[in-house]
Amino acid sequence: MTTPAPLAAPVLPAGIRARMIDNGNGLVMHVLEAGEQKPGGRTLLLLHGFPELAYSWRKVMPALAAAGYHVIAPDQRGYGRTTGADTRFDTDLAPYRILNLVRDALGLLAAMGLRSVDAVIGHDFGSPVAAACALARPDVFRSLVMMSAPFAGVPAWPKPMMDEPARLSAMTGLADPGLDARLAALAPPRKHYQWFYSTPEANADMHACPQGIHAFLRAYYHMKSADWAANDPKPLGAWSPEALAKLPTYYVMMKHQGMAATVAHEMPSPAAIAACRWLPDDELAVYAAEYQRTTFQGGLNWYRCVTGGLFGADLKTFMGRQITVPATFVSGRQDWGNYQKPGDLEAMQTTACADFRMLRFIDGAGHWVQQEQPEAVSAALLEFLTRTGA
């Protein structure tokens, strides 16, 4: 496959540059950078989620660089202009397992001549990957910021067989096919979006949707943002089909609808689109062009590792272990992602992390917090880094 050129300067904010780097783990990674790499300097690694790109960090990178950091944001495996991943549905999922995603990050740092970073910062699906980085290599990833997706930790050390079973984590629960069967038994029948994303039909549902990728992404980003008035999240209280059915339909979908149809109902008006300052149409066009070219399947393969139990199996390597580096969580107050896995927000603070420093909910932001409220996110990140002495 031909390696695409890095994103051109006209679509990048001032101070951000792009290049391609071979990470030694099978990928040529498309990397955005801000600030200068200096001997003994301070570095931050930013990991995006779905359906996003390194470009999703464009609004916070300049502020972090202005504070003296060398900021690195790659397109992760299966995304954007990073090449080398098999992005078909019919592929071996082993390269998409979470510990190999950690190796992707390690390989990138090694290729750049870096032995460590002051913080690894992950948003959405990048959050559990960032947590796994800090869990596996605390000597390399010296502090951790999770954003918009709490990480509940690794499986507990098993109890004797006759004892009460340990709490079934949300990560394990999503690997239980019985969950989707129980959701289907509700009235009306429902399904979990991660199970839908794991099906062969999911990519075509979004990539070949009747409204086109640009309009699909506009509605998807809108519906999960603070601009959608129905986003008023609150704890669900239980890991059960009845509780999960209270989530918006972009998380627990109607059984017989795909994601393109789900979000099409909430397509914002032309006036609302024109008023959207955090994602104007020319910036949305960058996402649309990338996903039109690559399809969504590379990112969807990550979800298949969750529902197939591969992520959970990798995390058993660290069973009973906590994340020991300083950690924090930053998210939009209007983000249902804080509560989509009941109990995870609490477990992150009390069980998963031995040195949890700060919980920050940012008002006026939904799921895309670093794009919706970049100034507040930059301030929260710099506050945490100051607290940790980074």
213 Cβ contact partners less than 8 Å away, ≥ 6 residues apart: 206, 207, 288, 291, 292
pLDDT of the residue at 3: 74
Measured CA to CA, the distance from residue 110 to residue 21 in angstroms comes to 11
Question: 201-205: long-range contacts (C-beta < 8 A, 24 or more apart)?
Answer: 201/258, 202/258, 202/259, 202/296, 202/300, 203/89, 203/295, 203/296, 203/297, 203/300, 205/258, 205/259, 205/260
Pair of tokens at residue 315 = 């995390």
Measured CA to CA, the distance from residue 200 to residue 366 in angstroms comes to 29
Whole-model pTM?
A: 0.96
Give the start-to-end residue ranges of the domains of the chain: 9-157+314-388, 170-301
For domain 9-157+314-388, give the fold: Rossmann fold (3.40.50)
pLDDT of the residue at 169: 45
pLDDT of the residue at 168: 42
pLDDT of the residue at 161: 57
Question: 212-218: long-range contacts (C-beta < 8 A, 24 or more apart)?
Answer: 213/288, 213/291, 213/292, 214/284, 214/285, 214/288, 215/264, 215/267, 216/260, 216/263, 216/264, 217/51, 217/284, 217/287, 217/288, 217/291, 218/267, 218/268, 218/273, 218/284
Measured CA to CA, the distance from residue 47 to residue 75 in angstroms comes to 8
Measured CA to CA, the distance from residue 85 to residue 163 in angstroms comes to 43
**10-residue block means of pLDDT along the chain (390 residues)?**
84 97 98 95 98 98 98 98 98 98 98 98 98 98 98 86 46 80 96 97 98 98 98 94 96 98 97 98 98 98 96 94 98 98 95 97 98 98 92
167 Cβ contact partners less than 8 Å away, ≥ 6 residues apart: 156, 343
pLDDT of the residue at 176: 87
pLDDT of the residue at 172: 59
